[in-house]
């Protein structure tokens, strides 16, 4: 199955927008049969007006480059964390959760904290194991 870029008409404004092959593939991989009804600008506006902060406007990808230039080949994917649509330079796979740049940054921070905590826990376990062994050897546990 192959996809080609298609021009669609926006429902909210007179603009035409490109439904890229990558997006079409993404939609069909998600089992979505409907084409997007709004252009990226209107989609963004709708998001913004529905409580999203304006700082959430993507500064990358099709949205940012929208305005006549041909978008780079990017794949649209839903962030596995915040469910925001994001764009990734690789083909999203079901076994590999996609994260938007925000969540990716947070994830990395969390991973670092987690790794540090795990190291600490491991050290504590080793210390605890050492103590238990010593207690066993000294017969502490047999004394009641």
Q: State the residues that interact with Zn ion by CB under 5 A.
A: 10, 12-13, 15, 39, 42, 79, 81-82, 84, 100, 103
Choice between 12 and 118, CB closer to Zn ion: 12
Residues 6+ apart with CB under 8 A from 86: 58, 61, 76, 77, 78, 79, 98, 99, 100, 101
Distances (CA, A) of 104 to 11, 44, 56, 73: 32, 21, 14, 20
Shortest CB 24 distance to Zn ion, Å: 18
User: Which candidate, 109, 75, 79, places its Cα nearest to that of 97?
Assistant: 79
Choice between 5 and 12, CB closer to Zn ion: 12
Coil, strand or helix: which one is 136?
A: helix
Shortest CB 86 distance to Zn ion, Å: 6
Choice between 84 and 144, CB closer to Zn ion: 84
Choice between 13 and 136, CB closer to Zn ion: 13
Coil, strand or helix: which one is 9?
A: strand
Shortest CB 108 distance to Zn ion, Å: 13
Shortest CB 46 distance to Zn ion, Å: 9
Q: DSSP H helical segments within 30-144, as ranges?
A: 40-49, 61-65, 101-138
Shortest CB 29 distance to Zn ion, Å: 19
Choice between 82 and 113, CB closer to Zn ion: 82
């Amino acid at each position: 199955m192959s996809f080609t870029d298609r021009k669609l008409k926006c429902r909210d404004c007179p603009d035409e927008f490109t439904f890229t092959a990558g997006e079409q593939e993404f939609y069909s991989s998600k089992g979505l049969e409907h084409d997007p009804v709004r252009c990226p600008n209107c989609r963004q506006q709708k998001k913004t007006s529905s409580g999203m902060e304006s700082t959430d406007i993507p500064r990358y990808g099709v949205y940012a480059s929208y305005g006549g230039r041909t978008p780079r080949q990017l794949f649209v994917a839903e962030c596995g964390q915040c469910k925001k649509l994001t764009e990734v330079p690789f083909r999203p796979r079901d076994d590999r959760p996609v994260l938007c740049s925000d969540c990716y940054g947070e994830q990395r921070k969390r991973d670092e904290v987690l790794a540090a905590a795990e190291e600490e826990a491991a050290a504590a376990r080793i210390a605890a194991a050492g103590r238990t062994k010593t207690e066993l050897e000294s017969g502490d546990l047999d004394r009641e």
